[in-house]
Every structure is written in C-alpha cells, then in structure tokens.
Chains A and B, each alone.
Chain A
C-alpha cells in the first residue's frame, strides 16, 4: 500500500507518461487523466491555431506584428497544454477524492510525503519548458530587429536594409507629432508611412514619459524627455489605417492621447511627402532644427532648419540635423549621427 503512489503512476501536464501497472480494484487514474488531457489539450490547440490564432492582435501589418502574433500563439498552445492539464487534474481530484464520496482514508507516511520520480520529472519538465521559452523568445526578439520594442538611443538590433525611413515621434501632453527629417524636417499630426519599407521610429517627449504604441504595427517605445528611443518595423504589403495610443500614464488626458495612422503605397507616400513638405514649408522654417531629441526652447526667431535637399528620403546613414542644432540640444546619445554598417 505504501508504494501505491509510485505504482499508480502520476501525471500532471505537461509531464510525460509515467504509468506503471494498475493496483487492484483502483481505477487507473493515470490513464484516465492522460486520455482526457490529451484530447482536451490537442483539441484546444488545434482550434486555437487554425481558428483563433490568425486573428490574434496585433495582426500582420508588419514583420514585427506578425512575429508578436506568432509568439502569442505559440505561447498559447503551450499554456493551454499546461492549464488544461492542471485543471483536468484538479477537477478529477475533486470528483474522485472528495470526502463526501466516502473513499478509503488516505495513507500518510513517507510514500505520501514525497516521490522522487514525480518530483524529478516535474522539475525537469518545467525547466525544459522555461529554457525553450527563453530561446524562442530571444530568437524572436533578435530576428525581427528588436521585435518593434524601443531599443533606446543605441539600438543593437538594426535593419540591414539601405532604405530606412526615419520618422521622429514627438510625444507631449496629450498628443503625438510626427517629424520627417528627410522631408525638410516637416511636422505633421498624422502618421503616414509607406508599405514594404523599413521604418525607424525615433520616439521622444517634450514633457513627461509617454509611450508610442502603434498597435497594428506591433511597435511600442517609451517617450522620455531628452531621450531618442528607437524602434524598427518593416511594413508588409498590407495597406490601411492603424491606431496610435499613448501607453504610459501621462496625466489626466492619457486616455484621449491617440490618433490614427495610415500605411500607403510607396508612390502614394512619396507624393504625400513632397506635397506636405511644400505645403508646410512656411511653418517648418520656424521650427527648431531637426535634432534627435526635441527641445521647444531651441526654437529661434530666425528659424533655421535642416537642409535636406541632397538627402535621400530613405537612407541607412541617418544624418539630418543641422550641425549647430546638435550642439544646442542635450542628448544622451553621442554616436547617434551615424549607424555603422555591420
């Protein structure tokens, strides 16, 4: 009787089979549990993967969004296996071993107090799952160049493409402004980006901490004053609008700090860019020169803006700010003017 536990075998998800031979007159708990768990976890995973998974946020508007969706779905599959295992075990235990059922009194002693095999399997399995989750997460972080998260002023995962469109996101209480250094340093209140393009969002703030969350793009980067927080995305061919929200509490109108952006074709984007640059030129000249962080007081009455006439709209070499401006602006980033090729 004392070796009952071992001979019965044990299970909880996600441990593998540990069945022994059944004892007399006792139902074979392990086989029952395993069967239920196998069916429920497999059915749930299949439904999730094929029915729900493709619709999981943030969708597939960028490579990074697609990666986040993939990660979510993979984690869901694994989690469902664990959750269904634990819940099935709990439900089974409540039914099978409830006192009101009048079963035999439990047997204590060393055999009921520990079981080296079960403990070893449990610890090994959870450790393997954790290591797998870590490797998976790291690969999924590095492969899509930082997975759309803000990498700070010195990004380590960068696109290798030669055509990166830089856009500065300036957060303030309680709105976002977007600045396009390669279009004369113009500022707009709508974010328009081209499809099929690497985009570098340079997120900064002029007051408190905000967070630039382009939901469908799978981008999230905190906006700290005097900090250039860079996040990269690669837009897919998918066109349409996306939501931008502030995702860090920034005061009373935090919830109202949102707007909508648009992904358009490259041709449409170039047309929109040069049109807006021309239309805004009168205002742009009163803006402070482009710099990696944005300090409103750097504005001058004369107005000097970056001369980007010779500048390609897409470039790996991010060199837009007028040189004097960089000196007037405090930036924690000293090596930001050039990205070295890897």
Chain B
C-alpha cells in the first residue's frame, strides 16, 4: 500500500525514494527473498570451503586436526557474502557501480515483505523484533540446558565438551541479541516516527544491519556443528587459538553481528541528529530517543574494537600471526583489552535502551510529567561517555599494571552517579502520581527493582578487595543477569507490551500479560538471587562440576530457571494468539499517551507522515489542563513551522524551576 504524499519542500533535504512501482509483474517467489539468501549462503559456504582447501590444504594449525581453518573461515565468509548478495543487499551499490539506475521497489503490501530486503524502517523493525525473539528463545533454551546439567554436581547429562559448547553458545547469542534487542526492533520502528521523520537517514544501511544480524544467528549456530568453542562468550586467547573449528564460527558470527551493530548505530545516530522535525529541539526529544542516540553512539564507536580483535583472532588462527601468543611477540592481554574496551561500552549498550524505555513509559502510567527531564538526558549521556573509561575493571586480577587499579575503581564507581539519575527521574515521577499498574508499567517498575540489585552488586565488584573474592564467580554471573535480563529484558518487554498496539494494531490479552509479568518477575529473582550466594561460596562461572555442598542452592536456581523459562511460553501464547489467531483491534491510543508516535494513524502509512509535523513540546505534559499539543501533524505553512521551531509560539520546554 502506498500513499501518494506531497513532499514539503524545505523540511528535509534528501529525497524520499519515489513512491513505489511494484518491482515487476513477476510472481513473488521469483525475485530476491529469504530463500535466495539461503541458497546463495549455502553456495557461498561451499565455494569458500573449496577455495580454502585449494589454497591452504595441508596447511593446518594443528597437525592432527581434521579441519582446515582457512577453509572454514573462507567458507563462512563467502557464506555471509552469499547471504547478503542473495537477499539483494548489494544490488543498489552494484547498479551504481555499473552506472545503471538502481530499481527501487516499495514493500509489497503483504506479509512477503518481511522476507525481503526492505528499506522501510517499520518493516525492518518488525524483522528485527522476530529475529531478536528467535535469538532470545534459542539462547534461553540453551540456558535451560546449562541449568539441567547443573542439577547435580557430578552426575552428568552431557560431556564436558558439550556443556562448554552450550555455555558459549548461550552467552554469545544472548550478547548478540541484547546488543540489538531494543535498538533493532523498537529503535528502528519508532525513532523516525517519534522524531517526526518520514524516513531513516540511511535506509539501506539500516536494512543491511538487519541482514548482518540475522546472518550472525546462522553463523553462531553453525559452531554447534563444528565442535563448538571452549571460550564462552568472552573468547579469551590463547584458549581461542586452541579452539576447534567452532571457534571460527564464533569469530565470524560475532564479527558479522558486530558489523551489523556498527551499521545500525551509525544510521540511527545520524537519523536522530539530522532528521528531527522542526521544533524538536534536544530539550523536547522523547527520552526513549535519548536512550537510542546514546546507545547508537556506543554501538558505532565501541564495536569497531571488537571487529579488530576478531580480525586479529582470525589471523592468528589462519595465518599464524600469533598476535595473542606471549611467547611469539603477541600478548594474551591484547585480546582481553580489546575485547573489554568494546565489552564495557557493550554493557551500557545493554542498559541505556532500558533506561530510555522506562523513562518513556512511566510518565504515561503516572499521569505526571517526567520528573527532571534534563537529568534523565544528562544521565544517559554521562553513562555513555563514562562507559569508555572503565573496561579494565574486568581485569583487576589479570596482572595488568596495578597503577591503573585505583583509577578504574574510580571511573567505575563514578558511573553509578549518572545511573542514579535514572532512579531520581523514576522515583520523582512516581511522587504523588496516579499509578496505573498496566502490563507495560509493571515491567518498567520491576526493572527499577532488578537493576537496583544489579547496579549495587556492581559497586561491590568495583571494589578491588571484594573483587578478589567475587571476580569470575557466580556472583558476577548473577550481577550481570540482574542488569541485562532484569534490567534490559524487563524494559524490553515493557516496551513490547506498550508499543505492540501501535506496531501491530492489535491488543495483547491483559490477563495473560499480567501472568507473564508475575511469573517472570518472581522466577527471575528466585533463579538469580541464589547465584549471588553460590558465587560467594566459591563456585566459579562456567564450571561443569561443582562442590557438592552447593547442590541445594544450584537445584533451587535450576528449578526456578525452568519456571522462568516457562513464563515465556505465556508470552508466546499471548503474542501468537492476540496477533494472528484471534486478533482484536487495538484502540488508537490505548494508554492515553502524549507521544508523537500515538498521534499517527494505525497502521502507520509508508513514510509515516503526510507532512513533516511541527513539534511544540516534549511529550510529557501530563496533568496540565492547558497543555500545549505535542505537535502539529498538518502544519498549515512552512513559515509558521519555522516560527514555531524558533520558539516564537509558546512552547514550554521542561525547565528547572528555580
């Protein structure tokens, strides 16, 4: 479905692609889609593998190895390229290269668009939503596998090799998922609408970020067929150099997901900077968008370090560069430093979107303006900047220069100040509010509790003497599950319940949503709280066998984990039932939100707005009888629009009362 729209002349330079012409009259299964991507991916793998054996047969890293890393790496690399080519990611660039005019096709008006290389941000958002859920549930099942094995300290269900494969897959997939969990689906879908833009800055960059991300799913799963990798998600070298062929899947998989993260961040950052509607000053930006702009900043600037580290790892494994081998001029600390230089901003890539979601949603269900808007924005910016200066706190025990220890203790503790801002904002908004405990609100409030535990235990780890005991133990594991699962994933589900009526036009069943919340909240805490104790009682992470006196605590955590896993069945049933089986039309604005995204029609037409709206205020003017409209969706003329954006019309910006 295309809408013929009049383009306002001056609002945005840069043309929206012309209203679509259907590609051709061909049947849908011709053309390029998921099927051709899979075929080309498989073909690419076969070709790369053949090529690798051709140029490097007999040139294996481990003399007795049954595989040739060059063949595996090239196979995966050409597989990824084939996947991208098969979906059509290179069509535009290749056409330009050849001097031809690229064919632009709008999304077909049916479900097949989700299996194609779509450059429509709402389609990409939905593709991401399904893909992160696939990632999340796959990795969640692997977590069930880990907890099953840990039911007994010494009786085993699988061998130690299989166990470590499962641990590594779980961690890596969850990290890949979590770095795109909010930016991918909600960021891509909502940001242009929330900022009053008809498009993304770089729609093809956005589309390619998704197809890199989804390629990563297949590549990281391929590790299971190639013997897994023994390093966990952190991939430490030189254990990495020892890993079998599955290690190549880890490197290539994380690499391609990393490339997708850079692309996604780059596009969203540029969109927010350059494509805000007239009048949408930084002081009126929805806080969710503040979360997205800071996250994108980190994605763009931190992830290249990961890609470099991975590149070195691949060189070590194929060309014997020994960059991570102390004895031959490399350093085992090099991977650790590069990895965590990315890895710690990554931790906030997995926190900031959650902060953005809760701060966005809480005002709606309190009927109050967001308290201390500027503090909220400053908190996210502060967290984002500081996150580049804390990475060595992962290495307090590693033997790197001890002079650095107090400094990294300081920076790590400093980051709790801007993090605390998010609490000030939330608690302040609740003050004398009228709290409606709807499902999205429940998840957001739970995030405040979970992240409190997760954040405070982080302060324990930043204290070097305490870290001597807790580093590398289940205490750390519990800590980061509290921040990522308890913080980000809870906020994500809050966002899903909140925005699904907008995204799909369907209402989720309220009762099932609330059941999902309570089971998830209770069993999440019952699963991970005991792990703080397990860790304090000296159980290291990623162990296959453990001390028998910790059996009770481990069993308790395992059984709770199974119940936690089951709680997501409620979500899946609810989601599938309410959206596909028995769809119920959602009201236009079910929560009574003032957000710009809720002022658009549902379903949101392609290119979102007929005219670029003019924004008058931030969307948090709740509890005000004479509140200004958030935006004018049909600005009469541009002179008026520019007057408004210059502040000539009364447009209160949140200001500190003093």
Of the residues A56, A149, A207, A243, contact of B396 by C-beta under 8 Å: A149
CA distance A302 to B658 in the complex (A): 84
**Closest residue to A87 on the B side, CB-wise?**
B449
* Given A224-B399, A255-B546; A93-B230 close (CB under 8 Å): no
Interface string of A148-180 (1 = CB under 8 A from B): 111111111100000000000000000000000
Residues of chain B contacted by A109 (CB below 8 angstroms)? 369, 623-624
Question: Cβ of A86 and Cβ of B372 under 8 Å apart?
Answer: no
A234 at the interface (CB under 8 A from B): no
Residues of chain B contacted by A156 (CB below 8 angstroms)? 402-403
Stretch at the interface among B116-124, B179-187, B311-319, B537-545: B537-545
B456 at the interface (CB under 8 A from A): yes
Of the residues A68, A112, A138, contact of B623 by C-beta under 8 Å: A112
Question: Cβ of A134 and Cβ of B161 under 8 Å apart?
Answer: no
CA distance A318 to B408 in the complex (A): 30
B469 at the interface (CB under 8 A from A): yes
Residue among B452, B540, B541 having the largest count of chain A Cβ atoms under 10 Å: B540
* Given A68-B469, A71-B465; A93-B409 close (CB under 8 Å): no
**Closest residue to A74 on the B side, CB-wise?**
B463
Residues of chain A contacted by B427 (CB below 8 angstroms)? 12, 86, 89-90, 93
Question: Cβ of A207 and Cβ of B230 under 8 Å apart?
Answer: no
A147 to chain B, nearest CB (A): 4
**Closest residue to B654 on the A side, CB-wise?**
A113
Interface of chain A, helix or strand or loop or mixed? mixed
Question: Cβ of B434 and Cβ of A97 under 8 Å apart?
Answer: yes
Residue among A109, A118, A136 having the largest count of chain B Cβ atoms under 10 Å: A109
Interface string of A71-91 (1 = CB under 8 A from B): 110010001001100110110
Of the residues A105, A147, A256, contact of B367 by C-beta under 8 Å: A105
Question: Cβ of B413 and Cβ of A10 under 8 Å apart?
Answer: no
Question: Cβ of B436 and Cβ of A225 under 8 Å apart?
Answer: no
Question: Cβ of B327 and Cβ of A226 under 8 Å apart?
Answer: yes
| Interface residue count on the B side (C-beta < 8 Å) | 99
Residues of chain B contacted by A114 (CB below 8 angstroms)? 371-375, 654-657
Question: Cβ of B472 and Cβ of A141 under 8 Å apart?
Answer: no
B324 to chain A, nearest CB (A): 10
Interface string of B470-485 (1 = CB under 8 A from A): 0111000000000000
Of the residues B239, B399, B430, B434, contact of A229 by C-beta under 8 Å: B399
A213 at the interface (CB under 8 A from B): yes
B445 at the interface (CB under 8 A from A): yes
Interface string of B518-556 (1 = CB under 8 A from A): 000000000000000000111011111110000000000
5 contacts between A and B (CB under 8 A): A5-B432, A57-B469, A150-B397, A222-B399, A249-B164
Which residues from chain B sit less than 8 Å from chain A, CB to CB?
159-161, 163-164, 230-232, 234, 236, 238-239, 242, 325-327, 332-333, 366-375, 396-403, 405-406, 409-410, 413-414, 416-417, 420-421, 423-424, 427-428, 430-437, 445, 448-449, 452-453, 456, 459-460, 462-469, 471-473, 536-538, 540-546, 620-624, 627, 652, 654-658
- The 3 A-B pairs of least Cβ separation, nearest first, read A255-B543, A108-B623, A229-B399
